[in-house]
Structure 1
Amino acid sequence: MVLLVLGGAVSSAGGLGGYLFTPTRVMTSDHMRPTLSAGGSMVVNTLAPGVDRGDVVLFDGSVWAERGLQVERVVAVGGDRIAYRPGDRTLTLNGKPLEEPYVLDGDPVAGSPGAFDVTVPKDRLFVLGDTRGNSADSRYRYRHTEGGTVPVSAVKGTVVGTGHPLVAGLRTAVFAGAAVLAAGAVSGFAALRLRRRAGAAVAQEPAYAGRVPPGV
């Protein structure tokens, strides 16, 4: 019984924790290729302690007057200066070329609508898609919402891989709980069989067992 309760508790904690803290969502757009493709799944860490450059974030689209949740990559955080001039082959971050190995076809300036130069306000983020030629991101909101930025408070979580420690830990808890449940079930079945055998042995003994039989 103890193993059954323990296994159920561990498995439930892992499953509930995974559902609440690392939910899996479906990517609905192709603007984050090659990192994320439309129709693919993504795991979101809703317990991320903070957001940094390079993180892929899920945020409330209402900050851009959009419906639902949006997915973009953070390229600049509060205090950073992010800029682009037509003809440049990269964006500049704090005056230096920004290396972005994650962008599609290695072209970080594809689809840029024009020059921009934004000093990101405190507690806000400048976000872009990895498919720069097909992403209505901060570049297109440059003259709106404080330089096209997104408030950190709108972020619902960061997109992580299945090998992330939190994801791996919760999934391990589910499997570990299931293993303990199985062990509890096996031991419970074995104990039940032993009790039944013992009961059957007692039932087969004559009522005078241990005493002198009558008539002797």
Structure 2
Amino acid sequence: MAPPLCRLYLITPVRLDDLAGFGRVLSHALDAGDVAALQIRLKGAPDEVVAAAVDALAPIAQSRGVAVILNDRPDLAVRLGCDGVHIGQDDAPYAEARRLVGKDRIVGVTCHDSRHLAMEAAEAGADYVAFGAFFPTATKAAKTRADPEILTIWQESMQTPCVAIGGIQVANAAGLAAAGADFLAVSAGVWSYGDGPAAAVKALNAEIARGLAERA
């Protein structure tokens, strides 16, 4: 049996006023350790702002083998050449997102603290389901609080990968990796880390390894 895996999934800040500057920060962060995906999440931004962000950041991520996921907008994800889209329960339905992006792009679905929603998404064909929030977060208003046990139960019963999201930082990452997360989605825990984003990526990967050692 293959050893369990858990990888980082970075989410951009909700505003990117200096794309060139953030691009440099992102480059250093991605070079500091393993990162599976970057979600570009600019809630409420005009299409042209989202397009500019993707144009600036996607080449940085994709050249390093990091998948670029666009939040909310399957139509834009296709037009801008993203690797996939992440949709919430209040966004386009999964079937509509899949129709728009096709079978070869990633579609991930927010499932809050609900195994029922997650099972529906997985059975429909979602590439991953996201549970959370696990901890208090200032990035967005969390509607639900998830218990790490949901990751363990999911891992034992389902094949579709699960993403843990919400308030994740270096201090609490190991427990979620140990509980069964396939990916840890982190935003402020990287970009606002005291020693800088690159140090956060390095530290988070170390904590993930520690959690996986417990899970093995």
Normalised TM-score (structure 1): 0.20
The structure with the greater share of residues assigned to helix is 2
